[in-house]
Structure 1
Amino acid sequence: MPRYARPVDGEGAEGPLAVLGNMVKAGIIRQVRRTPNVGRKAIADALEVAPTTIVPYLGELEAAGLLLADPPKAERKRGEWVVYRVNDEAVTELYLRLGQEIGEI
């Protein structure tokens, strides 16, 4: 298996890139920020992708703390309607970490 090249002192960018290193994830955050308290079908429709495409990404973003779900995953029952909103503080923190790593901030 090939090794990934890692620049010296680049480990600080790995977390933000892993969480946001995907256009669908970035699109989900953008769409939920525009229309908070929205369900996955509405998000998928706005992004013009299948709802099944975004389900794993919603889970990853929720686990990373960037999306807040109602009800939260720990309280969710099978088939229950879930709505999402952006955890602005967590997204801003991640954005700032990435900006520091690339020398923007």
Structure 2
Amino acid sequence: MPKYARPAGGEGAEQAIAVFGNGVKAAIIRYLRQHPNVTRKSIADALDLPPTTFIAYLGELEDGNFLIADPPRAQRRKGEWPVYRVNDAVVTALYLRLGQEIGEI
């Protein structure tokens, strides 16, 4: 299994690259910033993706506190459809950290 190159001093950018460098995650965040409080179906329809393609990404973004789901996963009942919105403070902080890492800020 190949090892990924990790340059010294780049640790602060890893999380931002994982989120913003993934096209599906970035599209989810972009869509939810423009259309907060929508269900997975609305996101899937807007992005023209089957829900099975991005459901894991929603979970990762929710677990990372980049998305806020109502109700939260721990409180959901079977068959309940949460609505999602972006945790703007967390996403903005991550974006700014990436800017610092690449010398923009």
Normalised by the length of structure 1, the TM-score is 0.96
Between the aligned partners of 1:60 and 1:33, the Cα distance in structure 2 is 17
| 1:55 equivalenced with 2:55 (yes/no) | yes
Moved >6 Å (runs of 4+): none
User: RMSD in angstroms over aligned alpha carbons?
Assistant: 0.9
Q: When the two structures are aligned, how many residues end up with a matched partner? A: 105
Whole-angstrom CA distance in 2 between matches of 1:30 and 1:18: 15
Query: 2:95 maps to what in 1?
Result: 95
Tell me the amino acid that sits aligned with residue 15 of structure 2. Answer: G
- Counterpart of 2:29 in structure 1 is 29
Are 2:11 and 1:8 aligned? no
**Structure 2: tracts of 5 or more residues without a match:** none
TM-score, with structure 2 as normaliser: 0.96
Counting aligned pairs with the same residue, the percent is 68
Counterpart secondary structure, 2:84: strand
Q: Which residue of 2 aligns with 1:19?
A: 19
**Is the aligned partner of 1:77 residue 2:77?**
yes
Q: Distance in 1 between matches of 2:44 and 2:14?
A: 27
Instruction: Tell whether the 8 Å contact from 2:12 to 2:101 is kept in structure 1 after alignment.
Output: yes
